[in-house]
Structure 1
Amino acid sequence: MLQRAVLLLGDPDWIAKLLGAAYLLIPMVAAWALITEVLFGARTEAMAKVLESEGGLPVDNLPRTPGGRIVRAAADAEFGKYKAEAEAAPGDWRSWFRLSCAYDAAGDRKRARKAMRDAIALFRTRG
């Protein structure tokens, strides 16, 4: 890609120059995305290990469908407990981690990742 990018950047046509710049930019964006996802996973795993050693991981005892998915109504019923815990202790990464798990069980992946990012930020700044 680097060779093609240099060739296209050297071309007098502005469209070729744009393609050359894209050839340089796309691998950088992909590398950034890969690194952020790997770091997200590593930090999540580190927090899970701490919670496991403390006995604070949420218990996975929700009923499942024959296909293995968590029954949504059961996850929604359990969700309130974790939401109240996070509201009561907004500065505790553990409560945000458990809330993230509850969001995930309820099928809300976007909020689950947001809650986990909040947990990671709190985990990294703890004293």
Structure 2
Amino acid sequence: MIALIGALILALCFYFFLLGRIALSLIGSGEAAAVAIGIGVLILPLLGVWMVWASVRAVLDHQRLARRIHEEELELDISDLPRRPSGRIERAAADALFARVGAEWEADPDNWRTSYRLARAYDYAGDRRRARETMRRAVALEKHEREATR
């Protein structure tokens, strides 16, 4: 899987390079319309590089937290929860899991571990937006903890 992600990133970098060359060629022509289009085309690879960098950084952060949670044996146990034929956890079971983990979080909201577990519970309950927000909070809290212990 890592090789596939690396290959996709390399392909994107090559694509961004080609877009950048086209943009610089358009800007270098000196014609007003071509310069305007060139500037617009130049923005695309810059946005692309930023999006790839932000995504890879987020994945690495989430993997670090997942590894630490696994090492501390604090993963959510969802093995016995009832599932739909699609493999997703049934809504009532996901909601019950969320209520339990939400109570843990309310007792200790400034702990990255409870925030991580809450983010996973949001994900299992199908609330992807809140799962991402809470995972960002968990990453920030864990980073603060690591920096405080240095």
TM-score (norm 1): 0.91
1:28-67 alignment, distance < 5 Å: 28-61=46-79, 62-67=81-86
Matched, 1:7 2:25: yes
| Distance in 2 of aligned mates of 1:33 and 1:66 | 34
Q: Deviations over 1:15-70 (max 9, x none)?
A: 32222012211111111111111111111111111111111111123211112111
Amino acid at match of 1:32: W
Higher relative CO (CA 8 A, sep ≥ 6), structure 1 or 2?
A: 1
Q: How many residues align?
A: 127
Partner of 2:122: helix, strand, or coil?
helix
Matched, 1:96 2:115: yes
Unmatched tracts of structure 2, length 5 or more: 1-18
Amino acid at match of 2:22: R
Cα distance change on mapping 1:93 and 1:12 into 2, 3 Å: same
Partner of 1:113: 132
> Of residues 25, 33, 43 in structure 2, which corresponds to 1:25?
43
- Cα deviation for residue 108 of structure 1 reads 0.6
| Distance in 2 of aligned mates of 1:58 and 1:66 | 21
TM-score (norm 2): 0.78
